[in-house]
Structure 1
Amino acid sequence: MLSVNPKMLPRLDEIEEDLLARRKRAVAEGWQGEIEGIDLTLNFLRSKREQTSRFQRVGTVDLGIPHPRPPITPE
């Protein structure tokens, strides 16, 4: 799964503004296929923004450094 760096959230806002402008033009021109594609992209972008915001609130979990298992000795 692709994760978005929280520092990139302002860039997602810029991309959304651009997509909304493109959608407005597509509606004016009657480009139905383009409208559907932009709507899908907007939904994906918004869900990624929401997911990134949730992960930002939760934070990271330190799992520590793994240690090698001792060798198994035959009995």
Structure 2
Amino acid sequence: MLHVNPKMVDRLNELEQDLITRRQHAQREHWLGEIEGIDLTLTFLRAKREEAERLSRRPVIQLGTPRSRGDSG
């Protein structure tokens, strides 16, 4: 699965708007297969955007530098 960086949400919004415009054109031309493909792409895009937005709300946890068990201090 593709993981989307939360910094890319604005780009996903641009892509969504472009797809909506393409879908409107496909509707005017009665391109049913194109509409179906665009709808599927929009579904995946929106899910990825929601995932990225959810991840951006999660706190960052600092785990520190890993050490081997033999290291002291």
TM range (shorter): 0.7 to 0.9
The number of aligned residues is: 70
Aligned to 1:50: 50
Q: Which runs of no fewer than 5 residues in structure 2 stay unpaired?
A: none
Aligned to 2:34: 34
Deviation at 1:27, TM superposition (A): 1.1
State the structure with more CA Rg.
1
Aligned to 2:24: 24
TM value normalised by structure 1 = 0.80
Is residue 66 of structure 2 the alignment partner of residue 66 of structure 1? yes
1:7-31 deviation per Cα after TM superposition (whole angstroms, max 9, x unaligned)? 2211111111100010011111111
Which deviates the most, 61-70 or 23-32?
Answer: 61-70
Describe the SS at the equivalent of 2:17: helix
Distance in 2 between the 1:9 and 1:54 partners?
Answer: 11
Query: Quick one: percent identity of the two aligned structures?
Result: 57
The two structures, once aligned, show a CA RMSD in angstroms of: 1.4
